[in-house]
Structure 1
Amino acid sequence: MKLDTRTIIPQPEPSNKPKTEEEIAQQKAKKISRLQKKLLHYTGKAIHDFELIKPHDRILVCVSGGKDSFTMLVLLQHLQKIAKIPFEIFSFTLDQSQPGWDDSKLKLFMESRNIPYTVLTKDTYSIVKEKTPENHTYCSLCSRLRRGNIYRYAKEHGFNKIALGHHRDDLIHSLLMGIFYNGEVRSMPPKLLTDDKSLLVIRPLVYVQERDIAEFAYLSEFPIIPCNLCGSQSNMARNDTKRLLLDLAKKNPKIPSNILSAIQNIRPSQLMDKGLWDFNTLESKVESENKI
């Protein structure tokens, strides 16, 4: 009879010995390295797929103080060091004069990494608070004012591209919210030409998942600066959309990636947009085929 060796070979006892600080630090470093490799892969893929960066680009990297923009900046700096093409990155932060906003740690972070940076102070906070009607979110006006200041600074200082930290989940949420609340099929493109055709806006994190960014930022201990303006409101529409997507993903984990794929696989002939598909000439095409 064959013995079941699992019953006679003693198994090692689980170690309850507390880890030393050095062991904890090593474990943390491994996690950061693993995550960074994954993030660099998807960021590099986006840059390659959409040709986001060209030789001698001068890129203004917008750092709001949140996890997404810090992660984007660190990844771009790493790619800059190993890239075969030369390009420049500059960190840009807009101080909107929010009460209690402190950028001292942000500046120390930039200096510790030898990243050239600028903090521009413009009091958009007061304008947003004054002009936003009651029971409306601040985000729309705030983003317009912020965007105007960023574009102006970029043009005045000779930048040809602006990098924003929107990630995969942002694109998906934007698509769903456009459908649910505005009746439009739109999202955030990886590369956008500004209305005056003077700048290109790029989004290198379009393939990156928010949960990976959150873990990377937490482990890296980025000096996160919370936005008290956005944080003071509950964006019900966005929160509802996020919850819906989370619920769907629990039933089918492929749904978020399928939605992202759908944004890249548009079939105008299967939709109803007369601007994208000429429905009026289809009869003539049928007649032409019948004559052959």
Structure 2
Amino acid sequence: MFGYSIAFFIAGGIGLIASIIGMGGGFLYVPTLTLLFGLDQKTAVGTSLAAMIFSSSTATLIYWRQKKILITLAALLTLPAMIFSMLGSLITVYFDARILVILFALVLILMSLQMLVPSLCFVPAITWGPSIAINPSVSREHSKPIRVPCIHLVIWGAMGGLVSGITGTSGGALFVPALVVLGVPIHLAVATSLLTIIPTSITGAATHIALGNISLPYVVVYGAGAVLGAFAGASLAPRIQADHIKRVFGILLISIALLMIQQKILG
């Protein structure tokens, strides 16, 4: 019970951070589940995806009340994300756990570089094809219409879903910059990303449950802690500079990636 209590508070802290930066929390759920609580990589991935359903749903509810979610953009991201999340989850059957650790560590390193050096663009704009006009002026953060190429959201939604299913991260590391690069204000991008994460995580988690890659006790404990953390984070987000938090966690993610490689691969 003491271990579950610690897990609850860890999940709460992760949920708070994730709801502020729009990345679901899997980037910290997976390494804490493997390094601190001894879950194997595949089980940690499935458990992380299930826990993110709770944290993302809570944060999304708060952002919905704040009128920060762009429904049309979320819809364009969601369908390809769900399909490729299921595909990514199924692919894990054919990967050795050590390969999954390496892939997860690489994702963490790319995420950290993106947080530390905003000028690095791992998610370029794809501008060809039909587009739609979005005017998020109701948020009072942006007054000019934004042209959003549909294919841009479809491609990056699919990529985010694939990464989510394979690694147990949320896909938000791609969803948020994919929106920001088009000119969507950061708080709207974070809120829209979190809505997209819900069905993406449901699809991936359901697939991992079917594969037996789940720890129900940790889903419950992490889910409960994440709900409280996400509620606090989404409530505080309008008063917090997300960029400051990203720099701190950029350094943390590199450290976690190296630690996972050292313990799970070299150790």
What TM-score results when the alignment is normalised by the length of structure 1?
Answer: 0.26
Return the index of the structure with the highest Cα Rg.
1
Specify which structure has the bigger relative contact order, considering alpha-carbon pairs within 8 angstroms and separated by 6 or more residues.
Answer: 2
More helix by share: 2
What TM-score results when the alignment is normalised by the length of structure 2?
Answer: 0.27
